Amino acid sequence: MFEGEALGLRALGAAGGVKVPTVHHFGDDGAGGSYIIMEKLNIGGRPDMQAFGRAMAQMHLADPEDPNAKKGMFGFAVDNTIGGTPQLNPWTDDWVTFFREHRIGYQVKRAGRPELTAIWSKVLDKTDGLRTLFTDGPIRPSVLHGDLWTGNYGGSPEGAAIFDPAAYYGHHEAEWGMSWCASFGEDFWEGYREVIPEAPLFRKREPLYEAYHKLNHYNLFGGGYLGDAEYLLRQLTFD
């Protein structure tokens, strides 16, 4: 199970910008389990958030290390997990198709809720399969942490550090789907926007990227996350 985490950490580390623990070894333990050995980070408190924002933007702008991502494809070398949920990462040459089928669509199917399925179908009809949400410019693959919330970043002697990823190559805006529990704050966004300005349709796409994580939380924990996800998806049908 640690292959996805190890390869994700290595991809993030290769991009630079943010401190990532170095992976020394990973593999099967010979007894039906697996292991990962990585650098211990001295994490203490919050990092300088403005510097963290700039560092994340630099990571997102870095040239991809993976040859498929270099060709403009989206996905990852292996499937991994988002929490305890499988996260499928087949290489796909179109971001909209990738996110529609292997992120939201997959979570909707796992949920198996008829009303949710109907809302998702309406979103696809209203947005030409999500394509009307992406008419403001081309999308290049960026390496993403994939699960960036307060529990997966912190301050270190080497600056902001990130860990425990669900990494893949995708649209950099998808990184912010967990912002509702990441406590980034104004300083972080000032730093990030110094390097990557806000795109014209960023606010329109925000509910889409947040819905992925709310759906995943519903599939993991149940409860009110379903209503949250349905509310977010309905926002995508508004003119």
CATH class of 2-235: alpha beta
Please name the residue that has the structure tokens 């081309």.
Answer: 138
Please name the residue that has the structure tokens 């925000």.
Answer: 206
pLDDT tens, position by position, 98-148: 999 999 999 999 999 999 999 999 999 999 999 999 999 999 999 999 999
pLDDT tens, position by position, 210-223: 999 999 999 999 99
Write down the domain spans for the chain.
2-235
Report yes or no: 149 and 121 within 8 Å, Cβ to Cβ.
no
pLDDT tens, position by position, 166-225: 999 999 999 999 999 999 999 999 999 999 999 999 999 999 999 999 999 999 999 999
Residues 6 or more apart from 190 whose CB is under 8 A from it?
Answer: 50, 53
Positions annotated as catalytic residues are 147
Query: Pairing mode, if any, of strands 80-82 and 159-162?
Result: unpaired
Report yes or no: 163 and 41 within 8 Å, Cβ to Cβ.
yes
pTM: 0.97
